[in-house]
Amino acid sequence: MWTVWRETVQYINGSHVINLVRRVIAHILSVAFALTPALMQWDTLGAQERKIQNRPFLDDRVWHYGFLVGLNVQDMWLANNGTYTITEGGTLETWYADVPEYIPGFSVGILGEIKATEIISFRLIPTMHFGDRKVVFREQFSGRTQEQFVKSTLLSFPIDMKISGLRFNNYRPYFVTGLAPTADITVKKGHELLIRKGDLFFEVGMGVDLYYPFFKMIPELKFCFGLNDILVRNRTDLKDESMLKYSNSLQEANSRMIVLTLYFE
């Protein structure tokens, strides 16, 4: 199974940025699959401490529905190219960009899940992520800086596979991975950077099903890696051509996001 995942990831994109993401994903998946047998023995390891199970037949359902609320931090991986710009006054400038800090955002959505086997299920999770990214440009020689806040409202449709361990008492841990087509519905033109509206995220994470007498709560931590270059280089939206130096200073930009979610069923 691990070989299939590795070969799949290898064909995602050939750029050096995606190669880096691929190695990160490979390490995460290797840990996930290495720990899966241990999760499958969760029930056996705790056989001496059995308690009364809440909602014991909930997992027998083929369909599951729920809603989610959560926190997110949005980020961008920026590849600087060190391009020199000559201003109208003949001054030589070189600009570099980075995202120096994380700004918390929030997420809301709905959950639909279908059971395939005792340990595997598939999810469709339409979600809206509200967030902000602070991009700081710095000029190499003078030290001057320029800031841009890239506000994003991401409409995401993750299609995930959930791999669960066996339930022990009122706990059931799991891993999740999948792809999420995403659209930014609040892209604004006329600023230093312009990003594309569409993207595709590769997602990997983990969580645990917590069974209560009247509902199930599922805390989950998920890492999302944008697979597409979202930087727009054809800046016909700019009225001031001197602002082209910011876009021209970048070779590539990729989205990243961390999401901490609470699902309720």
Chain position carrying tokens 């901490």: 260
Question: What is the reported pLDDT for 26?
Answer: 54
User: Where exactly are the structural domains of the chain?
Assistant: 57-264
15 DSSP assignment:
S
What is the chain's length? 265
C-alpha to C-alpha distance for 77 and 99, rounded to whole angstroms:
8
Question: What is the reported pLDDT for 37?
Answer: 53
Q: Which of 189, 198, 262 is nearest to 230 (CA)?
A: 198
C-alpha to C-alpha distance for 260 and 29, rounded to whole angstroms:
19
Question: What is the reported pLDDT for 41?
Answer: 54
57-264 is a CATH 3.30.465.10 domain: no
- Helix, strand, coil shares of the chain, percent, nearest 5, are 20, 50, 30
pLDDT in tens, the chain (265 residues): 444 334 433 434 444 444 544 554 554 555 455 455 544 554 454 445 778 888 888 888 999 999 999 999 999 999 999 877 776 666 788 999 999 999 999 999 999 999 999 999 999 999 999 999 999 999 988 889 999 999 999 999 999 999 999 999 999 999 999 999 999 999 989 899 999 999 999 999 999 999 999 999 999 999 999 999 999 988 888 888 888 889 889 999 999 999 999 999 9
Strands (E), 116-249: 120-124, 127-139, 145-156, 159-164, 171-184, 198-211, 216-226
Question: What is the reported pLDDT for 251?
Answer: 92
C-alpha to C-alpha distance for 114 and 91, rounded to whole angstroms:
61
Angle at 130 between CA 124 and CA 136, to 5 degrees: 130
**Sign of the C-alpha dihedral, residues 48, 49, 52, 56?**
negative
C-alpha to C-alpha distance for 205 and 84, rounded to whole angstroms:
41
